[in-house]
């Protein structure tokens, strides 16, 4: 069971702005232009120690165009599959027929929903509150998503209504197996655990849900999570395919390490890069395995590695291995690397260790000037795992050249042995310790200062 929150409403009521505020991102495009959101946006909301999936949908509107109908269908699919729904209304306008239709359909779903009156900062003579009470909706919250007004109150309401339990997996280190349809994920797992646990077919997309399989290696417990293949164009695809993607993404978030299987007979394609990038956004360590390698000749193998996608800078930071799910080739090496990745991705680093490295990097390549002032990197400290996060305190945290940021990321990655592990660097402006300090003069110092001032004035005359 995965937990998700759907945001629905008619066009231009502020759904995307609210989505950005809840997820603390800028993933959804915000504009005064009505109906800008056409596909669903996805993100996460942090509520205490829990993380929940948030879906921003396109505006539901009465329209005869096929596009508008598709947008509405996608929004209702998200609402049906979500645990809780946020119904957004424009609090500065009157309740209209589109709002009433959405409300009627929401009640038919028989699901709990939170009614949100957005744009409460705008002065208006709207009677929407009175109309809502007439329709039996006296429990609503007024917010201004644009100005972050009452957003924390909404977060508190969500936290109280969402389920507390997490996805329950068997005990052990969790490995999410992900990739495009027919990359051989189920075959690989069946071979590894020596059981025909998963259905294997040449028809792409046989697996449509995430399935967890516990196993033991050298006395250690692990769990493979077999996920549905993520197809191209899943955002606009039908219900089963889209929510297979959602379940796969949840499995990635719940895992300790992600194993991406690539069909080596097809090589790296654009969809593979999109999936890898999606995993990177979650902050989980990732290992790339070229499956079905037994089907390739040496020449075909060289051609696969020589393609532009395979040689892209984006893939340089990942460990790549060759395996055969059918023959069991490369399993020992693969599992050894997965085990090492889990250990390294959960490692913490001391401040002294990081600062010695930072000093070395600065000596090798001095920081550039920012806004006419020399950039000074004062110190760095460790801030968390998955992704491994470092915070650098400097005299300026704005407009730092991207090439110098990249230099620091690459340097720390090499020094800390973080290949295949996501690394994030954040810059913070260090505070002046003497800024708020008041230097009070003693009575003797005050008298001395007064004598000095008299002497200066006398000499001027």
Q: State the pLDDT confidence band at 242, using cuts at 50, 70 and 90.
A: low
Choose the weakest-confidence range: 22-36, 61-75, 225-239.
22-36
Residues 331 and 355 in one domain: no
Q: Quick one: CA torsion of 121, 123, 128, 130, rounded to 10 degrees?
A: 110
Q: How many domains does the chain have?
A: 3
Greater confidence (381 vs 126) lies with 381
Domain enclosing residue 269, as ranges: 173-345
- Helix 15-23 vs helix 151-161: crossing angle, to nearest 10: 80
Q: What is the mean pLDDT of residues 16-38?
A: 65
Residues 388 and 251 in one domain: no
Q: State the pLDDT confidence band at 196, using cuts at 50, 70 and 90.
A: very low
Residues 19 and 126 in one domain: yes
CB 55 within 8 A of CB 46: no
Predicted pLDDT at 33: 43
The whole-angstrom separation of Cα 62 and Cα 97 is: 9
pTM of the model: 0.66
Q: What is the mean pLDDT of residues 338-352?
A: 93
Residues 283 and 419 in one domain: no
Predicted pLDDT at 23: 86
Predicted pLDDT at 74: 75
Going by their DSSP bridges, the two strands 388-394 and 377-384 should be labelled as antiparallel
CB 330 within 8 A of CB 321: yes
Predicted pLDDT at 68: 61
pLDDT greater than 80 at residue 163: no
Q: State the pLDDT confidence band at 59, using cuts at 50, 70 and 90.
A: confident
The whole-angstrom separation of Cα 60 and Cα 103 is: 11
The whole-angstrom separation of Cα 211 and Cα 203 is: 18
Greater confidence (106 vs 28) lies with 106
- Helix 97-109 vs helix 66-81: crossing angle, to nearest 10: 40
Residues 399 and 326 in one domain: no
In percent, the amount of the chain with pLDDT more than 70 equals: 82
Q: What mean pLDDT value characterizes the chain?
A: 81
Residues 293 and 374 in one domain: no
Going by their DSSP bridges, the two strands 41-47 and 140-142 should be labelled as unpaired
Q: DSSP 3-state assignment of 375?
A: coil
**Strands in 28-133 per DSSP E:** 41-47, 50-56, 84-90, 113-118
Greater confidence (188 vs 8) lies with 8
Peptide bond into 387 cis (omega under 30): yes
Residues 337 and 373 in one domain: no
Predicted pLDDT at 211: 63
């Amino acid at each position: 069971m995965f937990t998700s929150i759907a945001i629905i409403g008619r066009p231009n009521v502020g759904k995307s702005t609210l989505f950005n505020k809840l997820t603390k991102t800028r993933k959804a495009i915000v504009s005064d232009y009505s109906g800008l959101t056409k596909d669903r946006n996805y993100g996460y909301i942090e509520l205490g120690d829990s993380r929940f999936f948030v879906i921003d949908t396109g505006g539901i509107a009465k329209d005869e165009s096929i596009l508008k109908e598709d947008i509405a269908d996608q929004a209702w699919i998200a609402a049906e599959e979500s645990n809780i729904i946020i119904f957004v209304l424009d609090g500065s306008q009157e309740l209209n027929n589109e709002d009433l239709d959405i409300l009627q359909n929401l009640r038919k779903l028989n699901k709990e929903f939170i009614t949100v009156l957005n744009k409460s900062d705008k002065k208006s003579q709207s009677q929407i509150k009175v109309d809502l009470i007439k329709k039996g909706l006296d429990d609503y919250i007024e917010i201004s998503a644009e100005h972050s007004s009452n957003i924390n109150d909404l977060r508190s309401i969500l936290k109280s209504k969402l389920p507390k339990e997490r996805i329950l997996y068997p005990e052990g280190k969790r490995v999410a197996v992900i990739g495009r349809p027919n990359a051989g994920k189920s075959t690989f797992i069946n071979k590894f655990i020596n059981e025909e646990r998963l259905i294997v077919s040449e028809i792409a997309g046989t697996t449509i849900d995430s399935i967890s399989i516990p196993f033991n290696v050298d006395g250690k417990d692990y769990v493979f999570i077999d996920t549905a293949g993520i197809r191209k164009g899943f955002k606009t695809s039908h219900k089963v395919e889209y929510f297979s993607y959602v379940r796969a993404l949840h499995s990635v978030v719940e895992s300790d390490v992600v194993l991406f299987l690539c069909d080596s007979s097809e090589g790296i394609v654009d969809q593979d890069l999109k999936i890898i990038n999606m995993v990177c956004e979650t902050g989980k360590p990732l290992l790339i395995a070229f499956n079905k390698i037994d089907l390739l000749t040496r020449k075909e193998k060289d051609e696969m590695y020589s393609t532009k996608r395979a040689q892209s800078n984006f893939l340089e930071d990942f460990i790549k291995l060759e395996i055969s799910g059918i023959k069991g080739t490369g399993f020992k090496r693969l599992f050894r690397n997965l085990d090492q990745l889990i250990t390294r991705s959960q490692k913490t680093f001391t401040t002294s260790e990081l600062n010695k490295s930072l000093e070395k990097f600065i000596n090798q390549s001095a920081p550039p000037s920012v806004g006419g002032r020399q950039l000074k990197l004062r110190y760095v400290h460790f801030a968390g795992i998955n992704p491994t996060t470092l915070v650098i305190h400097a005299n300026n945290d704005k407009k730092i050249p991207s090439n110098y940021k990249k230099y620091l990321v690459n340097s720390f990655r090499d020094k800390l042995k973080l290949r295949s592990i996501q690394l994030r660097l954040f810059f913070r402006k260090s505070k002046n310790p003497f800024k708020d300090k008041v230097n009070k003069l003693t009575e003797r110092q005050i008298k001395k200062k007064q004598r000095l001032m008299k002497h200066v004035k006398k000499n001027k005359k």
